[in-house]
Chains A and B, each alone.
Chain A
């Protein structure tokens, strides 16, 4: 089973090996949140995690980011075992994580400055990403002056400007309205096509998962484990019109069936 999860055609660059996560709850009992997770992802792949609320998606993402040490198992990235966080593994959090005390520009420059790049290079990179996420003219605004969708774009630009090889995105568009959300999805695909990173994207939204992903990992709850993996057979580049096509609906139906088997 675990072998079947691994992609056969190309050596996986990210290997999730036998992950188990237990938490101690407030009343002192042990809670098994993730059990026996084995996955392998290719480089530049766009992967989605989908599954019920509380099935451990965020926990798994935090483990991959290095923010959380699993009870058991390990993550291999390009052959090396992950220990702690790294700028090479960027994370867009479920919550609003844009620093409110920094302007849009300073937020986006945050990671770049840490890399000790020369000043003009930092500036140029930040400018580039501000333009790419469509925030030109807002460089010197504070986050409180932006809408939720704009803040999320700052967040994306901040992580992208850091050019991570691996992007971990935890329901980044969960709180947005349908219109903004589909704009952001299209934008994300465009950014991903240019940036060339591997993306792991957590979502509850079937359409979002189908529209964005190469493969969708369906998780089952209590304890969280891999139920099945669905290949999305839709060609790229994917554009807005695709959402209304027959093939798109067929893929969406397939995913829906896979999720229903759960209940």
Chain B
């Protein structure tokens, strides 16, 4: 029944003699519904197909556990606390490492973009670090400070720092001269220009960097936990592999996906709010 209604409205969009043209707002709403319906069907089909295949008599449940088995594992791991402990272990590492790395990136990046000599000092260092995937530092860090909590956090600090500093720096570099001079003729001191003109102008760049930095930190963290950790979601994945518990591996992947998605959404919301003044299409 709803399908038939949708198809009537679809005719309204594809201008084949519409009874009444849709307003732009209606078109937007219709497109959103369309997208949601098709997307749900698409994802549902994939899950259904997996469900059918995994439940076929010939399938090895150790490799392709059926959805109900995965769900059972999830419930079990949730109620015995393993899941939450793993999530918390990963999240707390991210929180600490990412916060330190990002704060350093914003501090050094904005000074670099504003003061020539700070740029001269830090630019070569940043340029050297940038092409190296942060994971490559793991062996070195382990050699230096062992496989404790500090080493995992340090990798996250490096990751978020390197990812966030580049857009921060470039945002500060792009502050139009006319804004600076306008502020100056309105009586602003150099310090005022830095925090009332340059920083606000660079905020959208900084937030874009923070968002990408968060995604990169997740990727690095999971990889780091796969290699060297006794807790966390990455460790859970590794444990699942070791004990041939495919369900557990899938639960882990799902959790990582959901958490990363939620964090990205939070960041996107903040980013949109902070960049409201910009020429962004709504």
* A residues at B contact (CB < 8 Å): 65-67, 85-87, 89-91, 93, 95-97, 99-102, 110-111, 114-115, 142-144, 158-159, 162, 168
Q: From B2-10, B108-116, B118-126, B271-279, give the one contacting chain A.
A: B271-279
Contacts of B201 in A (CB 8 A): 101
**B35 at the binding interface (Cβ < 8 Å):** no
B contact residues, total (Cβ < 8 Å): 20
Contacts of A100 in B (CB 8 A): 277-279
Q: Which of A67, A90, A96, A114 contacts B192 (CB 8 A)?
A: A114
**Could you write out 21 A-B pairs with CB less than 8 Å apart?**
A67-B181, A85-B184, A85-B185, A85-B187, A87-B185, A91-B181, A93-B181, A93-B182, A96-B178, A97-B179, A99-B179, A100-B279, A101-B201, A101-B277, A110-B186, A111-B186, A114-B192, A115-B187, A142-B276, A144-B279, A158-B186
Contacts A67-B181, A93-B181, A142-B276 given; does A162 touch B197 at CB 8 Å: no
**Do most interface residues of chain B lie in helix, strand or loop, or is the interface mixed?**
helix
A144 touches B188 (CB 8 A): no
Shortest Cβ distance from A113 into B: residue: B196
Contacts of B186 in A (CB 8 A): 87, 90, 110-111, 114, 158-159, 162
Bound complex: CA A85 to CA B187 (Å) = 7
Shortest Cβ distance from B202 into A: residue: A101
**Distance in Å: Cβ of B259 to nearest Cβ of chain A:** 32
Please list the 9 inter-chain residue pairs (A to B) with the smallest Cβ-Cβ separation, ordered nearest first. A87-B187, A111-B186, A97-B182, A91-B185, A101-B200, A142-B277, A85-B184, A101-B277, A95-B178
A144 touches B179 (CB 8 A): no
Query: Count the A-B residue pairs with Cβ separation under 8 angstroms: how many?
Result: 64
**B183 at the binding interface (Cβ < 8 Å):** yes
Contacts of B178 in A (CB 8 A): 93, 95-97
**B203 at the binding interface (Cβ < 8 Å):** yes
Bound complex: CA A85 to CA B182 (Å) = 10
Bound complex: CA A81 to CA B46 (Å) = 77
Shortest Cβ distance from B183 into A: residue: A110
Shortest Cβ distance from A85 into B: residue: B184
Q: Mark out the residues of chain B between 98 and 135 whose CB falls within 8 Å of any chain A CB in the assembled complex.
A: none
Contacts of A97 in B (CB 8 A): 178-179, 181-182
Bound complex: CA A188 to CA B77 (Å) = 73
A67 touches B187 (CB 8 A): no
Contacts A93-B181, A101-B203, A114-B192 given; does A86 touch B277 at CB 8 Å: no
